[in-house]
């Protein structure tokens, strides 16, 4: 998902993500940025604000990026992800609408079950990644990337109008809720004290509407973008500050910003839209074939199926792989070379791993170089250094599943 940020140099670290035009110091565009309901809350707690995808968001707080990252791995952290596009798709033809746009099997989702899926185009390229939940309230709850807000909304609205013109029963509503992510091994323990529902019955990628710290109408989804156990809480905007304040009273919880979120997702092997996947990347190239629903594969009825499905059986020219190296950190756009020094690919995301004390990255290489253990070269600051193709996630994930 597109939830990370290039960090301004004066913060003392440099995490590559979106182009500078989309992410820059606040002084460049302060009067035109959108603000989440927690904007003043962030300032009061020492948030260093940057511009990201048209929003003013905290890149970090008073703690260092490394401390914030490791706290999330060991305890839990609270992230404001209210910039994400949240939509509600309703009507008896809501599944038909969504399946006309994504590769996943939405019809098979049980009540309150969700899945990661992909918007694709007819050329097989990925337009965005998103989470779709089949709620027990009779609608689909969709969360997609802030950087693709206009594109995603137009895509869904155009399809709504097309189906409505055919007499279909479908509609779309943009939600103005805030979205808070509580992530880390103690997240469920912290949240349990504030809800009546038994969170042990809420496994990974399921959700439920509940009252949280006295705020009613909150949708709690067991998911996240860090590789840790955790939840994302869609909360009415008026209750966002109250909820964040209440969570922060627990000593287990610290605030974390976009910088830690980026390094956490990279350690977990999760894609950043616009860097690791885009309209010129197919799900097979992006190592995301698992998002293709079995029934959808058989029916060949999703956008780009005629391009994507043959790639499952044949070879693709390139694949997304993980990379590890010593020395200088690999960054987005760093050239990847074979051992003979010929350029064969490019790094798409990279940073030092606070958990592993090594440098980790993702990038694309030809299939013959994609096997884990393959030795390659990466050019960093005009110097070549050794790198090894590595399995992802780099750090084991800790999603909560029912045994």
- Residue ranges for the binding site for substrate? 232
CA distance 218 to 138: 16
In degrees rounded to 5, what are phi and psi of residue 207?
Answer: -145, 165
**N-term to C-term CA, the chain:** 28
CA distance 213 to 240: 11
Q: Which residues of 294-323 are buried (b: 16+ CB within 10 A; e: fewer)?
A: eebbeeeebbbbebbbebeeeebebbbbbb
Nearest to 82 by CA among 57, 50, 99: 57
Which CA distances in Å does 380 have to 1, 47, 129, 334?
Answer: 26, 31, 29, 6
Tokens encoding 29: 């565009």
The alpha carbon of residue 366 and the mean position of all alpha carbons in its chain are separated, in whole angstroms, by 25
Q: Answer whether 282's CB lies under 8 Å from 311's CB.
A: yes
CA distance 95 to 104: 11
DSSP string across 333-344? T-EEE-TTS-EE
Binding-site annotation, residues: 232
Rounded to 10 degrees, what is the CA torsion of 173, 174, 177, 182? 110
> Residue 172's beta-bridge partner residues?
89
145: helix, coil or strand?
coil
């Amino acid at each position: 998902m597109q939830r990370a940020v290039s960090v301004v140099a004066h913060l003392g670290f440099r995490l590559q993500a979106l182009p500078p035009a989309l992410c820059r110091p606040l002084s460049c565009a302060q009067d035109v940025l959108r603000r989440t309901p927690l904007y003043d809350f962030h300032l009061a707690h020492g948030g260093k604000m940057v511009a990201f995808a048209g929003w003013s968001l905290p890149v970090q707080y008073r703690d260092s990026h490394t401390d914030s990252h490791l706290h999330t791995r060991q305890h839990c952290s609270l992230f404001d992800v209210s910039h994400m596009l949240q939509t509600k798709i309703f009507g008896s033809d809501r599944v038909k609408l969504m399946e006309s746009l994504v590769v996943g099997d939405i019809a098979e989702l049980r009540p309150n079950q969700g899945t990661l899926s992909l918007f694709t185009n007819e050329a097989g390229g990925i337009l965005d990644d998103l989470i779709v939940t089949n709620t027990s309230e009779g609608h689909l709850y969709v969360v997609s990337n802030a950087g693709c807000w206009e594109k995603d909304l137009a895509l869904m609205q155009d399809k709504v109008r097309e189906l409505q013109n055919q007499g279909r029963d479908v509609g779309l509503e943009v939600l103005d809720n805030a979205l808070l992510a509580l992530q880390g091994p103690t997240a469920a323990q912290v949240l349990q004290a504030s809800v009546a529902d038994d969170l042990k019955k809420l496994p990974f990628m399921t959700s439920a509407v509940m009252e949280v710290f006295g705020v009613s109408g909150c949708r709690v989804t067991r998911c996240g973008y860090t590789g840790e156990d955790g939840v994302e809480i869609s909360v009415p905007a008026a209750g966002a500050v109250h909820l964040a304040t209440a969570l922060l009273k627990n000593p287990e919880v610290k605030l974390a910003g976009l910088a830690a979120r980026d390094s956490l997702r990279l350690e977990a092997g999760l894609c950043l839209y616009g860097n690791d996947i885009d309209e010129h990347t197919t799900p097979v190239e992006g190592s995301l074939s698992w998002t293709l629903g079995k029934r959808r594969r058989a029916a060949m009825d999703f956008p780009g199926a005629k391009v994507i499905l043959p790639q499952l059986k044949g070879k693709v020219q390139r694949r997304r792989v993980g990379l590890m190296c010593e020395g200088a950190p690999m960054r987005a756009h760093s050239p990847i070379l074979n051992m003979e020094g010929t350029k064969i690919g490019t790094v798409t995301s990279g940073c030092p791993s606070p958990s592993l004390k090594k440098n980790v990255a993702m990038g694309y290489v030809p299939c013959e170089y994609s096997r884990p253990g393959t030795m390659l070269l990466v050019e960093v600051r005009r110097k070549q250094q050794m790198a090894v193709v590595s399995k992802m996630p780099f750090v084991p994930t800790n999603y909560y599943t029912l045994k």
